[in-house]
Amino acid sequence: MSVDRVESPLALTRRARRTYRALHERYPYAHCELDFANPLQLLVATVLSAQTTDVTVNKVTPVLFARWPGAADLAAADRTEMEEVLRPTGFYRAKTTSVLTLGAALVENHGGEVPGRLADLVKLPGVGRKTANVVLGNAFGVPGITVDTHFGRLARRLGWTDEEDPVKVERAVGELFPRAEWTMLSHVLIFHGRRTCHARRPACGACPVTRWCPSYGAGETDPDKAARLLKYELAPGAEAKRT
């Protein structure tokens, strides 16, 4: 079902919240897919996740943190040795530099601890708002919107915003939802983007929010064909069909 071209702010908010509720029902288990045991591990893992998959990062970080468990250890690591550990993630030389300088900055400016404020996190080398919001939301329980490529794509496809700049997307979407929902909203949209609403061939016929999506029809609409495009698992008992 198409959405009116001119939509009042109230109508947009209501539509966005209905969409989110339906997606949350599809992915009630949505979560950060990077493995971590503390804020430092999540911060480093998020930095390493650029241009690679969370699965790849999760294979590398156990080795990384077993060898260099603290910020001071990371800062003092042998570059060649760390490069070999990080090689599978791609761009490993640049990522090694990022981890070394990040560890040093944490030691020098924060006593080796990861700060729990956005203003402090974004001052760390290699840390932008996206990474900071991942850490705040998942390691500190501070609500934040994580605008990665999936989130930005879905926010535009769903007609929540026309903005392309991640900071503007974050602000526009943040106005549509209570702050307490921001972190889970991020997880749910990212899950949907990875599993159903793909960049090239969205599985429209297997999507639970077509009635509120102005982009319905951009991908495969046949339910059976769309179901074959789904990646990973749906929630137990979820139906892959247009609702």
Handedness of CA 136, 141, 145, 147 (dihedral sign): positive
Annotated catalytic residue within 35, 73, 148, 224: 148
**In a 3-state reduction of DSSP, which class is residue 161?**
coil
Count of CB atoms within 10 A of residue 164's CB?
9
Query: Tokens for 176?
Result: 């549509």
Closest by CA position to 219, among listed 94, 227, 168, 56: 227
Per the CB < 8 A criterion, the answer to whether 121 and 162 are in contact is no
Per-residue DSSP letter, 235: P
Per-residue DSSP letter, 50: T
Active-site annotation holds for 130: yes
Residue corresponding to tokens 């947009």: 12
Active-site annotation holds for 148: yes
Residue type at 110 in one-letter notation? H
- CA 139/CA 114 separation, integer angstroms: 10
- CA 202/CA 158 separation, integer angstroms: 12
Distances (CA, A) of 87 to 79, 100, 134, 147: 12, 15, 23, 26
Count of CB atoms within 10 A of residue 5's CB?
7
Annotated catalytic residue within 4, 95, 120, 130: 130
Q: What positions carry a catalytic annotation?
A: 130, 148
